[in-house]
Amino acid sequence: MTEGRETDAVAERPVALAYRPTVGELASALRARARSTRAGRFQRAALVWTVTVGTIGALLSAAGSGHRDRPWPLYVGLVVFVAFMVAVPWLQARRLHRLAERQGDICGTVDDTGVRLTTAHSSASHDWHLYSRYVETPELFVLLSADKSAVGFAVLPKRAVADPEEVDRLRAVLDRRLVRADDAEAPGSPRSRGGAVGRGVGSVGLLLLGLLLFFSAYSAVYQASHPDSFAGVQHNTAPIAAVMLGLGALAVAGAWWLVRRMTAMRIVTAVLAVLVLLAGGAALYRVGPMLHCWGSSQIARGPEGTYVCYDF
């Protein structure tokens, strides 16, 4: 009985913390929060969409007949925008760090009753009902508030504990009182099943998009590749067709990436992807011999099957 009481006392002993947060840790916490909230995932998707659309626009502009008049200010603005969006977590972390520096060193404890933090100028006690889930990174535990946007969060660095074994005890306390943010994605959960359906539909959609892009690439050079039906000099659409081939390949890769962890859909996607890529190979067979005329506005097929470049 005595050993049992001593064991319980050790298990209930609070985990002691002592640390001063760094800019890197705060930036890492903000990125972890963004990955675990809808708003953060939406921002990341918007950033990817912006980069994709901007890249497509730049490629099409370079492939067109007016490739010498590229809108450089637009490209510079796009690069600056992307760089700013990527730097936002670091900029926010700098502001938070300046506030934390005024507080000085942080000491605290974590147990089944909550989190208590004390600095030279303040003290705070947070019950577990303020937080609903947590995210673990290689360096941190990030506690997230119960609202969907996780406006409130607390950062607990793993280096803040005196003994590495205390990290396991801290994780055990968090597992008892909170839910891991990635548990919502665990196999069999409603969110996981809904996400699997969404990924499957998205994968099929991307494969269809890839097939459409490959067909469009083939159609773009159809006239130039059939001089018997369309004699004479033709507009050079090979660069645009090459861009479509590249985008089609990215669509197929995206379809695979969406279902990479789903065994059944991965097999189905692999079979469909091979068929789609065969269509892409047929289009590339037509487009490839024309690509040496990338910078020319006109093109014509010679009697030997080679292509002559013109720039009127």
Q: What's residue 10's pLDDT?
A: 44
Number of Cβ within a 10 Å radius of residue 88 = 15
Q: List own/partner pairs for 91-99 with CB under 8 A and 24 or more apart.
A: 92/26, 92/27, 92/30, 93/23, 93/24, 93/26, 93/27, 93/29, 93/30, 94/23, 96/21, 96/26, 97/21, 97/22, 97/23, 97/26
Tens of pLDDT, residues 125-155: 888 988 888 998 889 999 988 877 777 888 8
305 in the Ramachandran plot: left (φ > 0), alpha (ψ -120 to 50) or beta? left
Give the whole-angstrom CA distance, residue 45 versus residue 85: 12
Tens of pLDDT, residues 39-69: 777 777 777 777 777 776 666 666 555 445 5
Tokens standing for 221? 């050079």
CA proximity to 17, closest of 124, 99, 97: 124
Tens of pLDDT, residues 69-126: 566 676 777 778 778 878 888 888 888 888 888 888 889 899 999 899 888 888 888 8
Residue 188 has pLDDT above 50, yes or no: no
Q: Are 134 and 126 in contact (CB under 8 A)?
A: no
Q: What's residue 239's pLDDT?
A: 85
Say which range, 1-15, 35-49, 216-230, has the weakest mean pLDDT: 1-15
pTM: 0.57
Q: What's residue 215's pLDDT?
A: 92
Q: Are 112 and 106 in contact (CB under 8 A)?
A: no
**Average pLDDT of the chain to the nearest whole number:** 81
Residue 205 has pLDDT above 60, yes or no: yes
Give the whole-angstrom CA distance, residue 157 versus residue 140: 4
Tens of pLDDT, residues 159-178: 999 888 899 999 999 999 99
